[in-house]
Amino acid sequence: MDFQLSEEHQLIRDVARRIARERVAPRAAEIDAKEEYPEDIFAVYRDAGLLGLTIPAAYGGSGAGFLALALTVEEVAKYCCSSGLMLLLTALPTQPIVLGGTEEQKKTYLPPIAKGEMRAAFGLTEPNAGSDAAAIQSRAVRGDKGYVINGEKAFISGGAVADYVTMFAKTDPAARARGISGFIVPKTAPGFSVPRLDEKMGVRGIATAMLCFEDCTVPAENLIGGKENEGFKTVLGTLNSVRPIVAARGLGLAEGALSYALDFARQREAFGGPIADLQAIQFMFADMAIQIEAARVLTYQAAWLVDQGRFQRQDSHMLSIAKAFATETAVKVSSDALQVLGAQGYMRDHPLERHYRDARQLMIVEGTSQIHRVIISRALLDRDLVYP
């Protein structure tokens, strides 16, 4: 069992670390305060070739894989969770096309993302359908000019800046999950609109948006895979494969919070010396490190599984374990790091209040912690996860 990163992975991580320290860190507070999409950070990623890590080389990406993307997101999220989400959004909306798209769809829609010429969003969640993805109500009906789509999508990260959306709608409503199809909807499609942006607690540099499809018409060739009622399998494959990247957001955020609090504790004096000399504080840091290192192993293993093509039902519990543990670690570590700073940690003079706000999102997106526990417990009951 080899825990050593490959030379390629080390190189990608080092590039991401340099970008994170030199370009992302100085902008993190401003990105949060202004709630503006950081175009300058996007340009840095584009110039460094980091926008196509999970897109196969045949379609303009580097094909470096999900572990490479996880390493990149981890480094960036140490300083800015919004900038980490920007990288995740190169994989989440494109993975349905990678997994289920036709050859023509792959050639048309994947290279512009890898080159930074276009941006995309993933449209699944609706006002009345979140964790229960099979309950979506958006409808798509075949017509003379293609498909006519009606419905709404809610809380869509990057939806306001996306050039196209990979979205899912019912083509056979009576069939529930088996009646879902995927579509590629350009922002220029008639009937598509972005009527509202959300007021968020954290991760404020990447807006979430309400997307509306009102008699929105797309050509028949925009049906993902060219077949109706094949969308739910693509949804599950996409969500499973991207879960290690959400875990990496949590891992990086936790590392950044610990590092900041530790530097503070070495300088802050109380009771005759630095508070880092107090055993109560030392034990807090030790617990943070234990959680972070456990989250790292789970996250890297999950990303490796995806790169091996192991993200179907029989392995999904391991992806859920990584996502749940790493994101909950982010919340716990950011909270404890803030506690080390005391009242100062609660102030915007320090990044920990931002880390804490950002971390809280991670236990909700890409499946809540409770949904992942359902997946894990089912794996135990079905003997997919066994301790002989």
Q: Where are the domains of the chain?
A: 7-114, 120-229, 233-381
Fold classification of 7-114 is Butyryl-Coa Dehydrogenase, subunit A; domain 1 (1.10.540)
pLDDT grade for 1, boundaries at 50, 70 and 90: confident
Q: What is the pLDDT of residues 196-249, one digit of tens each?
A: 999 999 999 999 999 999 999 999 999 999 999 999 999 999 999 999 999 999
pLDDT grade for 186, boundaries at 50, 70 and 90: very high
Fold match, 7-114 / 120-229: no
User: Which residue has 């941006």 as its token pair?
Assistant: 119
Q: Are 69 and 54 a contacting pair, CB within 8 Å?
A: yes
In degrees to the nearest 10, what's the CA dihedral of 73, 78, 80, 86?
0
> How buried is residue 111: exposed, middle or buried, by Cβ count under 10 Å (0-12/13-18/19+)?
middle
CA 77 to chain centre: 11
Nearest one of 384, 378, 361 to 81, comparing CA atoms: 361
pLDDT over threshold 90, residue 274 = yes
Q: How far apart are CA 150 and CA 217, in angstroms?
A: 9
pLDDT over threshold 90, residue 295 = yes
- So what's the pLDDT on residue 377? 98
CA distances 3 to 208, 215, 296, Å, are 36, 52, 11
Q: Is 146 helix (H, G, I), strand (E, B) or coil?
A: strand
Q: How much is the average pLDDT of 20-49?
A: 97
- So what's the pLDDT on residue 350? 95
Q: What is the pLDDT of residues 234-248, one digit of tens each?
A: 999 999 999 999 999
Q: What is the pLDDT of residues 56-107, one digit of tens each?
A: 999 999 999 999 999 999 999 999 999 999 999 999 999 999 999 999 999 9
Nearest one of 213, 142, 127 to 172, comparing CA atoms: 142
CA 345 to chain centre: 26
Q: Are 254 and 291 a contacting pair, CB within 8 Å?
A: yes
Q: How far apart are CA 314 and CA 382, in angstroms?
A: 10
pLDDT grade for 130, boundaries at 50, 70 and 90: confident
Class of domain 120-229: mainly beta
Active site residue 36: no
Q: How much is the average pLDDT of 323-338?
A: 98
Structure-token pair, residue 104 = 């023509």
Q: How much is the average pLDDT of 110-128?
A: 97
Strands 164-170 and 180-186: antiparallel
- So what's the pLDDT on residue 280? 97
Q: At 6, which amino acid appears?
A: S
pTM of the predicted structure, to 2 decimals: 0.96
| Active-site choice (75, 126, 328, 366) | 366
Residue-averaged pLDDT of the chain = 97
Domain 233-381 has CATH 1.20.140.10: yes
Q: What is the pLDDT of residues 149-168, one digit of tens each?
A: 999 999 999 999 999 999 99
pLDDT over threshold 90, residue 2 = no
pLDDT grade for 5, boundaries at 50, 70 and 90: very high
Q: What is the pLDDT of residues 340-349, one digit of tens each?
A: 999 999 999 9
